[in-house]
Amino acid sequence: MENTYLVYDDTAACVVIDAGCLTDVERNRLQQTIEKHHLKLEHVLNTHLHLDHVFGNGFLYQTYHLAPEAHREDEFLLSQLHAQAALFGVPFNEKVQPIGSYLEDCDHVAFGNSSFEVIHVPGHSPGSICFYSRDDQIIFVGDVLFRGSIGRTDLPKGNFEQLIHGIQHRLLVLPDETKVYSGHGIVTTIGQEKAENPYL
């Protein structure tokens, strides 16, 4: 129940955000969608590196020769991937795909005529980042913020106070109409979360 996003613009350039596709059915669906729309994959992006957000990274590397991009503070999670999968009863025995390049706060990821600004919001994990398009008024937040909720902070190196501070000072300052695409669940807006989220 993890949201994998395929984002493309009118140039047919695209990025994948949080390739959580674990099964062949899920992976084939992603590949077939890219091929159906004649898209050119330019970046494989991760909001963070918890297991359910990275299962498809190896497949994308093998298929498109693009290594994932993520924040260096989450890299330690990759060494725990097989143990975490076993703990949750998830059958994952493949080689873990390493990070290809690091993304830092205020970086920009360009593809086609589009660009995402990287916003570092730690707390759910130390390297949690969001991908924000001011022009399109959208932001992909991973597990930082959900409709009516926030990311859990009881996982390794999670920090509740840090997460709340980051959401309040980095996300809630964005325009109210900004659409928020989370790693799980349905779309919301910054304005709706400011008005209704009980944690904020």
pLDDT at 83: 93
pLDDT tens for each residue of 167-182: 999 999 999 999 999 9
Q: What is the CATH number of the domain that holds 30?
A: 3.60.15.10
Considering the domain boundaries, does residue 128 fall inside one?
A: yes
Residues above pLDDT 70, as percent of the chain = 100
Q: Please check whether residue 129 lies inside any domain of the structure.
A: yes
Number of domains in the chain: 1
pLDDT tens for each residue of 57-66 = 999 999 999 9
Residue 119: inside a domain: yes
Containing domain of residue 172, as a range? 5-90+102-196
pTM value surpassing 0.85: yes
Asked, for residue 96, whether it belongs to a domain, the answer is no
pLDDT tens digit sequence for 75-120: 999 999 999 999 989 999 899 999 999 999 999 999 999 999 999 9
**SS in 3 state form for the chain?**
CCCCEEEECCCCEEEEECCCCCCHHHHHHHHHHHHHCCCEEEEEECCCCCHHHCCCHHHHHHHHCCCEEECHHHHHHHHHHHHHHHHCCCCCCCCCCCCCEECCCCCEEEECCEEEEEEECCCCCCCCEEEEECCCCEEEEECCEECCEECCCCCCCCCHHHHHHHHHHHHCCCCCCCEEEECCCCCEEHHHHHHHCCCC
